[in-house]
Amino acid sequence: MIFGEQRRKWRHRRLYPGGASSVDCLSRDGEIKEATSASPVDASETGSGLTGLALVVNDLTPAGLRSTPLRSSVQEGPVKVNGGLKSMDSFGKYQRDVSDAWSTEELAEEDNAGSSRQDDNYGSSSSRLPGATSNGRVSGQNRHYSEHLRAKGLQRLAMQSSGRASLPAHSAIASRPGLAVRSSSVNANDGLDERPPSSSSLQSLLPRHSQKSDKFDKVLSMPSLDMEELRRLSWSGIPSQLRANVWRLLCGHAPPVSSKQKLEDTLHRKREEYQSLVHDYYPKRHDDQYKDTFRQIHIDVPRMCPLIPLFQQIVVQELFERVLFIWALRNPASGYVQGINDLVTPYFMVFLRQSLALSPEEDMDNLQLDQVCSSAQLQAKLPAVEADSFWCLSKLLSSIQSNYTFAQPGIQQRVVQLKDLVQRVDAPLHRHLEKCTVEYLQFSFRWMNNLLIRELPLKCIIRLWDSYHSEMEGFAHFHVYVCASFLLWWSEDLRNQPDFQHCLLLLQNLPTQNWGEDEVERLLAKAYMLKYSFADAPRHLRA
């Protein structure tokens, strides 16, 4: 049977240390055939549906992308789903979202030099194309080709680094959550520079890097800015020197115009506006009404990144306090909640790097601001960094406001979604966590509340945010898939922990200190597969 043969090829065991689990259970029950013809209701509620999903998640090939059990049953099965149109819509969205996450030219190059395993993989799945492609809108050779490229892009991301040193005993892990991670360096934001040369040689990386910058430059210099295109490019990482500008655009802080003058005018106006907010509101921090809020901010800010000298400087701490206090005052529905302070950090670092014209390699952790520039220069530069951080933070928080309102319903909901998702894609892990009485809320609350900032080195967060900013609901919706992807990463390690204590100690000190762009991109690739697999099955993620 073709399935038996392909099952093996669909395995992407090396994508994730823990990724194999769902595939394993898939091959054990051997229900693939049923799964592909399962009705949507079955798919969402029964074991065979789970099998089907496992199949989809692990199937990176273009045909597989279209032949999810849910979609094929729309055409074949008697049971109604939300309608084919909807699934086509979201497929279209998927198309838009990923089609350029990896550039076609780059991939075309790689195709020629590509490994035989990948070619083989594609070849076998393409044999299914005629049967699987009954969606009229998705046809034509070009489409197939671009999908093929996209699928290969996923694979490329996934396979880039196949090995991961297995987890050392948990005793080696830094003793406090977050500390070890955040003490690590924040230098060199640009992933392409940092990625260890894998299959390709260093020489081939360099021109590709500049090629990437060229593409950004091209988009950014168009008379009317193509935001869609910019998002597509940014999804797979923004060159360090362009990041600040692109983030401002993607956030909606900067207007989508390429005219330098217009851009500068708007930013200037917004920066002045922020200054006047500070002028009007900051003195209120001593008022009875606001002193508790300010107290909380004032005790939290000095405790941020305690091991990074940059954050110990008064001028930086005061900047954070102003940004947070003004935001809290303007958003009484939530006010300041611990963790929001962390969300300022990536913006601050990115904008500061640009403002001081630091090279991508320059380490910012040990930066002494008063030493790199005169106080006059600082006074000229920092207000813009501060204002931009404030506005971008405001945009970000408005997309996840329910995370911080009373009882934090947004977080509760997303934790449930995470649990639901993991239950479906990695049942053994889910069962193990249940057996150890580990509750998802106990470890993933912080993942949601701080958007993983306490779990990953800052440079990884910055790369992650390139993609979050590019997604339509990156910080709200896509983040759940990234969290699931993150949890699955540790699946095997977690399943090897005997009890609650060990699981939890591991979960709150996950050894990501040495993570770089490479790991983040694998994390993202998996998250994207998960998102795509569930895009047409909102029932699966209904809280």
Contacting residues toward other proteins, per CB under 8 A: 175-179, 182, 296, 299-300, 302-306, 312, 335, 337-339, 404, 406-408, 412, 439, 441-442, 445-446, 449-450, 454, 500-501, 504-505, 508
Half-sphere exposure of 391 (CA within 13 A, CB side): 26
Least distance between other proteins and beta carbon 468 (Å):
19
Question: Distance between CA 423 and CA 429 in Å, rounded?
Answer: 8
Question: Could you give the 3-state DSSP secondary structure of residue 187?
Answer: coil
Nearest-approach distance from CB 205 to other proteins, in angstroms: 36
Nearest approach in angstroms of CB 494 to other proteins is 15
Give the nearer residue to other proteins in terms of CB position, either 182 or 232: 182
CB of 497 to other proteins, least distance (A): 13
- CA distance linking residue 433 with residue 383, whole number of Å: 47
Taking the CA atoms of the chain, what radius of gyration do you get in angstroms? 24
Give the residue ranges of DSSP H helices in 314-359: 314-330, 340-355
| Enclosing H/E stretch for 154 | helix 141-159
Q: Which residue matches tokens 């950014």?
A: 220
C-beta separation of 183 from 304 below 8 A: no
CB of 217 to other proteins, least distance (A): 39
The residue among 79 and 543 lying less far from other proteins, judged by its C-beta, is 543
Q: Are 508 and 443 in contact (CB under 8 A)?
A: yes
Q: How far is the CB of 341 from other proteins (least distance, A)?
A: 8
Nearest-approach distance from CB 408 to other proteins, in angstroms: 7
Q: Tell me, what amino acid is at 119?
A: D
Q: How far apart are CA 499 and CA 120, in angstroms?
A: 42
d(CA 514, CA 221): 36
Coil, strand or helix at 311: helix
CA distance 384 to 372: 17
Cβ of 524: how many Cβ atoms within 10 Å? 25
Q: And the tokens for 442? A: 């106990």
Render 9-73 in DSSP notation, one character per residue: HH--GGG-SSTHHHHHHHHHHT-HHHHHH--HHHHHHSHHHHHHHHHHHH--SHHHHH--HHHHH
Residue closer to other proteins (CB basis): 175 or 224: 175
Nearer to other proteins, 300 or 466 (CB): 300
Shorter beta-carbon distance to other proteins: residue 92 or 409: 409
In terms of CB distance, is 99 or 317 closer to other proteins?
317
Taking the complex as a whole, how short is the minimal distance between the CB of residue 337 and other proteins, in angstroms?
Answer: 5
| Helix or strand run (H / E) with residue 368 | none
User: Least Å distance between CB 306 and other proteins?
Assistant: 4
Nearer to other proteins, 153 or 177 (CB): 177
**Smallest distance, other proteins to C-beta of residue 471, A:** 24
Quickly tell me which residue has 């669909």 as its tokens.
10
Q: Which is nearer to other proteins, 54 or 460 (CB)?
A: 460
Is 384 or 416 the residue whose CB approaches other proteins more closely? 416
By beta-carbon proximity to other proteins, the closer residue of 241 and 513 is 513
- Name the residue among 65, 62, 72, 37 with its Cα closest to residue 51: 37
Between residues 342 and 492, which has the closer beta carbon with respect to other proteins?
342
In Å, how far are 25, 111, 340 from 250, measured between CA atoms? 40, 31, 20
Tell me, what amino acid is at 90?
A: S
- Nearer Cβ to other proteins, position 77 or 339? 339
Between CA 146 and CA 150 the distance in angstroms is 6
Q: For 295-310, what is the HEC assignment?
A: HHHHHHHHHCCCCCHH
- Minimum Å gap between C-beta 445 and other proteins is 5
Q: How far is the CB of 198 from other proteins (least distance, A)?
A: 34
